[in-house]
Every structure is written in C-alpha cells, then in structure tokens.
Structure 1
Amino acid sequence: MTVRFRKYSWQLAPQELKTIRQTVFIDEQNVPPELEWDDTDEIADHFLAVLADNTPVATARMFNTLDDTAHIGRMAVLPEHRGSGIGEELLRHLMVQAAGQVRNIHLSAQEHAVAFYQRSSFHVCTEPYDDAGIPHYGMRCLAPTLATRHFVDDSVRPWPLILGADDKSWLIDSEHQVPELMDSLVGQARQRVWLYDRMLDHDLYDRQSFRDLLSWLARHHRNSEVRLLIHDDTPLVKRRHRVVELARRLPSAISLRLINEDYPPTEQPFLLVDRQGVLFRHQFDRPEGFAGFADSGRVKLVAENFQRMWDTARPSLELRELPL
C-alpha cells in the first residue's frame, strides 16, 4: 500500500487531520476534548498520512525540546485502515525526520500498543501510569540513527535494540555508534551494569545522558549494582567526571575499582547489562566491536572474567580523598 506523508503547522493543518484525532481519541476512546486539544499542538509539527488517492488515514505530531529530545504523540490510525502497516510507516517516517537532529525520541504508549513501538526500537522506561483514564507507559529510543538505518539495511530484525529480545549482533564500525548502543543497553538495565575499560574516557563516559541512566538504575532498583573497573584513574583526579561524582554520592550502588596488574587483565573493553546485554570492543583505543541485546551465553562467559578481575582489584584512594 502506497502511503505519503504531509507535514503541517497547527495553524495550517487541514480539517481531516483534526477529524482523525476526533474519531480515534474522543469518539472511540472517550478522551475528554479538553485533554485532547492542548497547547502542545501550537508548537508541534503535525503529520498526515494519505493513500495514493489522497484519502487521509492517520496522523501524529512531533516536537523537540532543549534536552535534545524529540517527542512523538497523538498517533492515530482510522479503524478501517488498521493492521495494514500504515501506523508503522508513519512512526518510522517521524523517526527518520528526527534522526540526526536529536539524540533520543520519547513517546507515551497506550498499554496495548507497547509491542507495536518495540518493533521500531522503543523500550519501556517508566512504570505504568494513567492518562485520560487509559493505562500508558513512557517509551524511548536512545539510538535513533542506528534504528532508522536498520529500517533500510535490515528490515527483518524483529525486536531492534530491545534487551532480551533482539538476538542479532550490532556491528560497530564508527565512534558515534558506541554511545548510542551503550545508552540503549544501560537504559534498559534493571539489575546490573558492569563496565571494564582502560579509563573512564571523558568523551565516552562523562556524558550527562549516561550519568542520568546510571543514576536512574541506582535509585529505582533496590538491588541494582553498577561496577566500574579501570586501569588508570589519573584523568579522573585531574578533571571532574559526572559518573565518578555520582558514584561517590551513591556508594552502595555504584563502585569503582582499579585493576591489579599482577593478574593479567583482558585487553578488550566491554559493558555488561543484566544477564543479556553486552557491548564488546576489540581494542581500548578503537571503536570497532559489536553489541548484543540477547546474548546470555557470551554475557555469562565475560561476566566470569570480569568477576575474577574485580575480586583482585582495589579502590582508588586518590578519588576517595577528593572533595565532593
């Protein structure tokens, strides 16, 4: 089915766009009109999906915020056109529009639609909440560039970037892929994040988004465990680091140790997330490697190696003595 997409400001949006929202949200789902029509309409871009004969069939809106985030909302497909793939095409069109402009994409998903959004690389990031009497979950895609590339290069991947479900490896061949994959993994952690590298490179790890993801894990999951294992803490002593400061504020959940060089360590840095996720680089100073979101066998082997290195490692006395 051929579908085209048109973008409008709210002031120039055709009546058909508003009629679709009226039909789906107000008439079908009983959303109160005063909740459906809000001030966000004035600042958002509005998208209308039309068939080859110009029949309007679906709509959505999207706006960006200053924290480098795109927000998708008010996605609606007319009842007679559901199940034909129009909703997925519309969602992916919005993601392509946002990719390259923002670092992540957020949306609020009705409970029954969670799996629909997961098929396009969104993962759940909140507890369930009520919106207009309908159960919702917050969802996000933290790797929009990779996700949209996948739409073209690997359309058969069923659960892209979903921890425990995406069983295909993501090959890493450039630096910009590493933080996207790292954040996508850590953003879905519910128990542990184990990290091993030569140092906590500021460009890679001293990012506000990475710090916030670790903080959320440590604060919202009682038995969570973040372990940071490195060779050299000198750069951390000389220059402030967001993750190190977070670790010093949450010592019961986040620990940092220095490798014991008397016990031969591995020469490949890695990140482990829960029992399924792994990001593995072949060399300390190069980005090449791979990430897996459902690779429990490899995670188990790498975790055993990490545990051996961790058991012989020591705390950083220099960092402990620095003022907060």
Structure 2
Amino acid sequence: MTPRFRKYSWQLAPRSIRDIRQRVFVDEQQVPAELEWDDTDEIADHYLAVDSNNQPMATARLFSALEETGYIGRMAVLPEYRGRGMGEALIQHLLKESSGRYHELRLSAQQHAIGFYQRSGFHVCSSPYDDAGIPHLDMRCLAPGLAHQGLSQRSQPLILGVDNESWLFDHETAFLGLLDSMVGQTRQRLWIYDRLLDHDRYDRHQLRELISAVARQHRLSDVRILIHDDKPLVQKRHRLIELMRRIPSRIELRVISDDYPQDDQPFVMADRDGLLCRHDFNKPEGFANFNAGRRLKLKEERFQRMWDTAQASLELRELPI
C-alpha cells in the first residue's frame, strides 16, 4: 500500500479528518470529546492519508509552539488499515516534512506504542503519565532529517544502545544532530573531549539544556569536559560555563596537560553505549555509533589517562560571578 498525503489548515480540512479522529479517539478509545477538540487545531497543519481511490485512511497534525521544535499529535489510523504499514508511512512523511524545518520533534505516545515510535527514531524523555485515562510518555527525535534518512536501513535509528550501524557525517548539521541525539539519551555518564568549547558547537541553548538534564537526573551523574585551551572561555559568556558554575558538583572541566600524550581526534561518549568521533579538531567529519561496544572501551581508557593527568581550569576559577 502506497498512501498519498494531503496537507490542510483546520479551516479547509475535509470532514474525513474529523471523522477519523472521532471514530478512533472518541468512539474507540473513549477520549472525552471536550479533550479531543482543542484550540491547537487552529494553528496546526493537518495531514490526511488516502489510498489510490481517495479513501481516507489516517490523519495526524503537526504544529510548532517554539520556533525550532515541532509537535506531532492526534495521529490516528482507521482500524481497517492497521497492520498494513499505514502508521509507519504516516510518521515517515511527518519526519520528511520536518526535515530542515525543525531541529526537534516531540510527541505524546500511548505506552503501548513506544516501540512503534522508537522504530522511527524517537526516544522516551519522560516518566509515564495519565492523559484522558490512557498511560502516555513523552518522546522526541532530536534529528528529524537523519531519522528519516536512516529509516530504510535501520530498525531503530538514533536509539542509544540499540542502533548498531555507524553514522558517517561530513557537515556541521549532521554532526550537531548526532551530538544532540546522543546527549539527549544519556542517563548518567557523559564525557566530552575537544580542543576547546567552540561556540558554534557547544554554546547552544539546546545542548546546554540536554547536558543540564544529564547532570541533574542522577545523584551519581558523571559529566566531564576535557579541553586543550580554556582561555577563550573568558572572552565570551559561554552557556556551558554558566551551567558549570550553577551546579559545580555535577559537571567538571579540566585542561589537558601538554606534558602527556594527547588524542588527536575529539570525541564524545554517552553512558556505556554511544561514541561520536570527529577525525579532526577543525572539521565536522567523522562517525557516530549509538552502540559502539569495544570501540567505546578503547576511547574510554584513552580519556581516563588524559583526565588523570589534566588540571582544573584556572581561567574558570577566575571568571567573575
């Protein structure tokens, strides 16, 4: 089955979109009508999937409350079209629509559908909660374009600890998407090694919030940043430096010693699974593996040796409050 997709504003949406949601959510799942129909419909784009005979099969909506974040909602497939790849085709179309438009996609998933969304590159980012009497969890995809690109080759693209195939990248956008996707799934340990905390790569609001979440979510969180040069930190107020000063017991920065061997490739390690490497300090080229295995172990040992001989940042201590 190869569906066709049509996009509408709420004002011009055909009756079939309302009918699908009424049948699936209100009639089948017993969602109260006053919760199903809300003001968000007015600002969302509404997608309708139809077959070759123009028969409606599924619908979803996509909207933005923040400039770089899109929200998927009200995704519904009619019973007679379930189990035939209709849901996968719809989410793939939404990923394609979001590529280049949003840096992040979010959705509220019914608990039983978590595996479905993971197969499209979404990971869980909340504890379970109740919505209209149905258990839900929040999920997000931090690189919609990459997720869409990887769907044809990977069973769970970008999922930490599961996606076994390496991602090769040769431009900044892909590097940042892979970095955010990996950091966003880190539960406890995040180790970063680079020449300096380059502003275009590390001084970003989204990355700061992702690292902050890692540092705060566990009493044994281990966030380490190892760099060669800390002098640029005093030249501009850096988001990560501000974060370190707010929670100094959770994030530690050290400066590598010139007297000891150094790695000539920057890398990031996420928990015991993820590894993101660039081939050169000055270029956005390299690979990422969300389930790195032995390769991660070797980098882990390398990082620890450099860390043990590194020094605390004097520049950071001298920064004004």
TM-score, normalised to structure 1, is 0.97
Distance 2:150 2:67 in 1: 25
2:215 aligns with: 218
2:116 aligns with: 116
Task: List runs of 5+ in structure 2 lacking aligned partners.
Answer: none
Amino acid across the alignment from 1:49: A
- Residues 125-149 of structure 1 deviation map (CA, whole Å, 9 limit, x = unaligned): 1111111111111111101121222
Contact 2:104 2:144 in 1 (8 A): yes
Say yes or no: does 1:272 pair with 2:269: yes
Task: List runs of 5+ in structure 1 lacking aligned partners.
Answer: none
- 1:134-149 matches, within 5 Å, as 134-149=134-149
Distance 1:225 1:67 in 2: 31
Distance 2:112 2:313 in 1: 48
Q: Secondary structure at the match of 2:159?
A: coil
Distance 1:296 1:181 in 2: 18
1:131 aligns with: 131
- 1:285-296 matches, within 5 Å, as 285-296=282-293
- 1:148-187 matches, within 5 Å, as 148-151=148-151, 155-187=152-184
Q: Give me the identity figure in percent.
A: 63
Distance 2:262 2:221 in 1: 25
Contact 2:163 2:290 in 1 (8 A): yes
- Residues 204-258 of structure 1 deviation map (CA, whole Å, 9 limit, x = unaligned): 0000000000111112222111100000011111111000110111111100000
Distance 1:218 1:32 in 2: 39
- Residues 279-314 of structure 1 deviation map (CA, whole Å, 9 limit, x = unaligned): 011111111110000112111111111011111111
1:97 aligns with: 97
Say yes or no: does 1:200 pair with 2:197: yes
Distance 1:220 1:233 in 2: 27
Amino acid across the alignment from 1:280: C
Distance 1:67 1:261 in 2: 43
Amino acid across the alignment from 2:49: A
1:29 aligns with: 29
1:88 aligns with: 88
How far has the Cα of 1:317 moved from its partner?
Answer: 1.4
How far has the Cα of 1:23 moved from its partner?
Answer: 0.8
- Residues 11-49 of structure 1 deviation map (CA, whole Å, 9 limit, x = unaligned): 111111111111111111111110000110111011111
Distance 2:37 2:320 in 1: 50
Amino acid across the alignment from 1:143: A
2:13 aligns with: 13
Q: Secondary structure at the match of 1:176?
A: helix
1:190 aligns with: 187
Distance 1:69 1:287 in 2: 24
1:245 aligns with: 242
Distance 1:36 1:223 in 2: 41
Amino acid across the alignment from 2:240: V
Contact 2:233 2:315 in 1 (8 A): no
TM-score, normalised to structure 2, is 0.98
Amino acid across the alignment from 1:242: R
Distance 1:67 1:44 in 2: 14
